Amino acid sequence: MDRRSFMRKAGATGVAAAAATTLAAPAIAQSNPRISWRLTSSFPKSLSDTIYGGALTLSKYVSEVTDGNFKIDVFAAGEIVPGLQAADAVAAGTVEAAHTVCYYFWGKDPTWALASAVPFALNARGQNAWQYHGGGIDLCNEFFAAQGIVALPAGNTGVQMGGWYRKEINTVDDLKGLKYRIGGFAGKVMEKLGVVPQQLAGGDIYPALERGTIDAAEFVGPFDDEKLGFVKVAPYYYYPGFWEGGPTVHAIFNKAKYDELPATYKNVLKVAAQAADANMLQAYDWLNPPALRRLVASGAQLRPFSQEILLATFDAANQTYAEIEATNAPFKKIWDSIKAFRKEHYLNIQTAEYNYDTFMMIQQRNGKL
């Protein structure tokens, strides 16, 4: 090959390489654009270790994975909109995202509540199994598409406590006329037993209890409840929160804004949300045990709900579901899916899981652990 021919070919190769480089740069830039979103939380900053912190975890992972190109700024309840208006703000495009519990918005349609928790449904492990492997996420987003949002699990508290009461609650009659702060759809069930449900954001509960505007309140569990100081104004601490066996906290996104994202960023959101989901449950499992000890030392009087109350509320819940299923097709479709898995889930965990846990609990009570 003569020198002139070689140079011609080398030059052509160099031009091609330069062209490829020139084309690649915009392609990369297009796949990793600079995007800045705002996220409104339904929770106060005082709960940054747990439920509010789920949004911070999501934001942190999204930023780190995209080298800071996709930024989500987190705002506490009330900084942009009140906590119970988070979903409306997302749907309207006031903000691009929210971190909230979907049962807060059951008044729009009770189907909202099924995405998070309803009385006597699944525990946290069951809820996650149904969502990630049983098609629950897709079923819920099929419904949410008509609301103008996309929702991804981004937290779970585990089974919650039954709340704080000014007086002991031993029978169903004791519930009658009780002004009770209880989140979301569960209030509709409790109404059948004479409860007067009150829906308040987390930061508004303490002053309402202190002033006597409400007689009782449930929020989450020992760690968060301790932070909010409920033991100072209502000493009786009941369990379990049968309306929230495994409540999912969601990251919800404006659908139009979500659909505009590059596929890479959508995948980043999915992975970051699932990481936040797992991290929150792990944090509660770690933080709740010592918090419960501190609450008891501070005067909390632990009380289990009586079997009479549990059975009455179980029946009231089933009656409520039957009434809604008869007229609400989206609710029925999702609830049928949950019920089918619930039956299998509790069949399975009563074998190895239940027996192992029960044995270990007995050893703990006997002082052997």
Cα(146)–Cα(37) distance, rounded to whole angstroms?
22
Q: What is the mean pLDDT of the chain?
A: 92
Angle at which helix 263-297 crosses helix 124-133, to 10 degrees, equals 170
Between 181-185, 192-196, 291-295, the lowest mean confidence (pLDDT) is in 181-185
Residue count of the chain: 369
pLDDT tens-digit profile of 123-174?
999 999 999 999 999 999 999 999 999 999 999 999 999 999 999 999 999 9
3 state SS of 328 = coil
Running DSSP on this structure, what letter comes out for residue 198? E
pLDDT tens-digit profile of 85-98?
999 999 999 999 99
pLDDT tens-digit profile of 313-346?
999 999 999 999 999 999 999 999 999 999 999 9
Between 11-20, 158-167, 184-193, the lowest mean confidence (pLDDT) is in 11-20
Please say if the pLDDT value at position 16 is more than 70. no
Sequential DSSP letters for 74-105: EE-TTTSS-GGGHHHHHHHTSSSEEEE-GGGG
Running DSSP on this structure, what letter comes out for residue 143? H
Instruction: Select the CATH number that applies to the domain covering 28-155+246-285 from these four: 3.30.1360.120, 3.90.1150.10, 3.40.190.170, 3.40.50.720.
Output: 3.40.190.170
Inter-residue contact 70 to 84 (CB < 8 Å): no
What's the Rg (C-alpha) of the chain?
25
Please say if the pLDDT value at position 11 is more than 60. no
Please say if the pLDDT value at position 242 is more than 70. yes
- Going by pLDDT thresholds of 50, 70 and 90, the confidence category of residue 32 is confident
Please say if the pLDDT value at position 4 is more than 90. no
Among candidate residues 89, 83, 119, the one with its CA nearest the CA of residue 101: 83
Assigned token pair, 25: 């740069």
Average pLDDT over residues 274-302: 98
Please say if the pLDDT value at position 31 is more than 90. no
Cα(38)–Cα(251) distance, rounded to whole angstroms?
12
Global confidence as pTM: 0.89
User: Which string of b and e fits 273-295 if b means at least 16 CB within 10 Å?
Assistant: bbbbbebbbebbeebbeebbeeb
Give the amino acid at 132. Y
What are the sequence ranges of the domains in the chain? 1-26, 28-155+246-285
